[in-house]
Amino acid sequence: MSRRRTTAGLLAVVALTGCGGAPEAPVAPSPVPAATTSAPAGPVRIAAGPTGQTAVLAHVYAGRLQEAGFDAGVVDAGTGRADYLGALERGDVDVVADYSGNLYLYLRGRAPVGPATTAPSDGATPAPTSPADPEGGGLAEDLSELLGLGDERADDEDVLAGVQDVLPEELRTLEPAPAENTVAVVVTRATAVEHGLSDLEDLGPVCGELAVGTDLDFAGRSYGPEGLEDAYECVPGRYVPFGDQDDLVDALLEDRVQAAALFTASPAIEDNALVVLADPLHNFVPQRVVPVAAEELPDAAVEVVNAVSAQISTDDLVLMTRMTSARDPYTPAEAARYWLEGGDDT
């Protein structure tokens, strides 16, 4: 039986999982607009997608679609792109939330960037990170080259357009959300003030004085040491790899490293008031949340999913990450219900 929690219990988990205190409860989302056509008799099946965040979003889509009169539900179509995109093409599912950069790299036959949180296998425990979907090769050596941009670096819109160009004919992208979960370099406020840092262009001239903490895969990624040097002339005094994000954040707070590469939807950024350095030259692969749907998804359902996308911010992804990866994690369905109710148990 699913555990029932009060709002106070939800906020307690938010507070206990971080050092910076509980964030405000989410603002109650606006009601979904009335569909322009009546809901069809057939069900709308939503895949959970590759991460805990997309699993929560799947349940949010289902909740909003149910409110609009659809017979909607979340189904298990696997967490690998080969699985759930194949299910979309076969008509076994109708829509899934994904990340623009990783989706594009997969469709072009390259290994996606590792996610911040993997999809829970049973709604409670994160599953192991899946191996790279495509065969051979690592991350694209040059995303801009793949997109045909020459020397111009790829931004969000380039990647979203690229996804539409390479999706199978049976599939389409819907409206992307403002939310993103991409890699970024972060520093403490003290370090930002000491060196006058607000973006990676500021970091370049002082990079040699700093140690940068990363995950174990950073050195082999195109946006890693080679990308930072090429884009920003940033060559740190040393890179320090960590196998655990908590250890990496502790090292940053204790000044054993002075900068760290984290995903932007990591609760650790908010909890510790870390400063995210802007990436004006687009070194890091853009990762906007984008729904992928079957071409035959009814227009009325498309309107509902697009309305949800318009309301999903990076802060929402942080909350979803926090709730589904806590010591006593919430299921994606519970986290979605909390978001749908605006933080209130009614």
DSSP string, 234-294: ---SEEEE-SSHHHHHHHHHTTSSSEEEEETT-HHHHHTTPEEPB-TT--SPP-BEEEEEE
Tracing tokens 């994000």 back to the chain, one arrives at 245
Give Cβ neighbours of residue 27 (< 8 Å, ≥ 6 apart). 342
Looking at the predicted structure, is the pLDDT value of residue 317 above 60?
yes
Looking at the fold, whether 237 and 268 belong to one and the same domain comes out as yes
Looking at the fold, whether 187 and 53 belong to one and the same domain comes out as no
**What's residue 212's pLDDT?**
98
CATH number at residue 243: 3.40.190.120
* 328 assigned to some structural domain: yes
CATH number at residue 54: 3.40.190.10
Strand order of the β-sheet with 275-276 is 238-241, 211-214, 259-263, 183-187, 275-276
Element (H, E) at 58: helix 52-67
Q: What is the average pLDDT across 248-252?
A: 98
pLDDT band at 258 (very low <50, low <70, confident <90, very high): very high
Of 276, 283, 150, nearest in space to 222 by CA: 283
- Decide which of 276, 302, 321 is a domain's last residue: 276
Burial (0-12, 13-18, 19+ Cβ within 10 Å), 233: middle
Looking at the predicted structure, is the pLDDT value of residue 127 above 60?
no
Give Cβ neighbours of residue 170 (< 8 Å, ≥ 6 apart). 88, 89, 294, 295
Domain span at residue 240 reads: 183-276
Looking at the predicted structure, is the pLDDT value of residue 34 above 70?
no
**What's residue 157's pLDDT?**
81
Looking at the fold, whether 307 and 245 belong to one and the same domain comes out as no
Looking at the fold, whether 187 and 176 belong to one and the same domain comes out as no
Average pLDDT across the chain, whole number: 81
Looking at the fold, whether 96 and 203 belong to one and the same domain comes out as no
Please state, as a whole number, how many other Cβ atoms lie within 10 Å of the Cβ of residue 141. 12
Tally of domains in the chain:
2
Looking at the predicted structure, is the pLDDT value of residue 27 above 50?
no
Q: Which of 163-172, 232-241, 307-316 shows the lowest mean pLDDT across its residues?
A: 163-172
**What's residue 108's pLDDT?**
82
Please state, as a whole number, how many other Cβ atoms lie within 10 Å of the Cβ of residue 200. 23
Q: What is the average pLDDT across 25-40?
A: 49
Bigger pLDDT: 47 vs 26:
47
- Decide which of 276, 295, 310 is a domain's last residue: 276
Looking at the fold, whether 132 and 35 belong to one and the same domain comes out as yes
* 143 assigned to some structural domain: yes
Contact (Cβ atoms closer than 8 angstroms) between residue 90 and residue 20: no
Q: Which of 31-45, 146-160, 243-257, 319-333 shows the lowest mean pLDDT across its residues?
A: 31-45
> What are the CA-CA distances from residue 161 to residues 142, 154, 199, 334 (Å)?
17, 11, 26, 33
Tell me the C-alpha distance between 68 and 62, whole Å: 10
Bigger pLDDT: 320 vs 9:
320
128-143 confidence digits (pLDDT tens) = 333 333 333 333 345 5
Structure-block tokens of residue 74:
């979340």
Bigger pLDDT: 66 vs 148:
66
* 282 assigned to some structural domain: no
Looking at the fold, whether 307 and 166 belong to one and the same domain comes out as yes
Contact (Cβ atoms closer than 8 angstroms) between residue 239 and residue 219: yes
Contact (Cβ atoms closer than 8 angstroms) between residue 231 and residue 201: no
- Decide which of 276, 301, 319 is a domain's last residue: 276
**What's residue 105's pLDDT?**
85
Looking at the fold, whether 111 and 50 belong to one and the same domain comes out as yes
Looking at the predicted structure, is the pLDDT value of residue 7 above 80?
no
Give Cβ neighbours of residue 244 (< 8 Å, ≥ 6 apart). none
Looking at the fold, whether 187 and 175 belong to one and the same domain comes out as no
